[in-house]
Structure 1
């Protein structure tokens, strides 16, 4: 008699939805801005994620595939996805660095739903796990926690070495060397953006900084326009860069949880603003 091994499914057969889902402020704003299409797209993405587990990878064709499945314009899919990321309904940092869609809330609900299955076999998760050690249930084994403990020890010396100067002249990422932006004013503005980002949202990994550099390069070939993009992202506390001319794709400033500037435009006051932010964090 042949006994077949039972395949363990990481995804869920169904996922929980809060009874106050439609009363959530973020969902109400999503509905007000993009109509029922926006809410439908968010629920569709949740279904795709929970079907696979607690995250999904996206590629350059993702928006077009979703557009075809939902009979929705690709531009609208992109706009709604940008909104979902800007309002932390999905984690924007992980999306920018690894093209992964997930969130802490998604992972909290997923681990609770997997509790019964985990009684037989502990569930192992990896580096896309966003929850802290104390937020992770005992039956969830996160290999990333062990990796992080070693990395933090190894990086402690590097942080001390950089404490003498804030400007990074040259860094290595995956054996690829990138050089500072030209002109020097652009590189200084980029470093200021990194300081403000770390003040508001926490330190970035070298890989994430490299991705930000590449993102800025892809948005414009003009140094003056790049400078304007960086300064705008800095003054508004954004987690990424957005093209100057595509206003529809930019996140709004009203009541964003990650925006500490409350919608004000501080153009022309960069030095005072940066000094105040940095000194305020000390």
Structure 2
């Protein structure tokens, strides 16, 4: 079974000067007090824990946030605080309005400190705020399969998306899916996979195509599987229903009661072990 690269982070560093030199925090404390700061801190920590650099959140979640925090905090206080954080740019208002996510440059800087040490350095381009020079080696993939991924070594000196036909991946296998949207998503996945795990052979590309077809015969599901694998930095595709591949039943050894193991599986788990 494939291991899923870690999304969130276990620790986030906050500057010791947060109450001395951050005018946005000063404004938040002045307008909303310690309850307001607590709400902001709670939502930031949820972002770090769940996705690492963003938190999918909407006003319908105010009551849930208030219940989880407790301490006499009401849903109205949560809404007012988030509104104020958006107003003073503690959360990015454009991304919240367009995508329903809470994030900021500060959140992403702290996240990048951890992500830069990982093998998988993949983020959604639509949510990412930092400039290329602030995050060398980052791979940005789109929420949409017809938009190609970008990274520092493909971009050069600018942030323009390079056509995937210029990459080595597209030359590895001439077989294409009938759906242009699926093929575009698949090529994006190959580029990210090669960046994370190294060169991929034409036989492996073909095996991945066949594997995808075995998981679903519906183009929309196939696209969703590929997008999930791209965003997660997976080395192989995962099934849709349970969020993981269905492993074949384990076979009993003829001479003992221990479960047999696949050599390929052990080798793969060793490759992704951190």
Between the two structures, name the one with larger relative contact order (CA 8 Å, sep ≥ 6): 2
Q: Which has the higher helix share?
A: 1
Normalised by the size of structure 1, how large is the TM-score? 0.47
Normalised by the size of structure 2, how large is the TM-score? 0.48
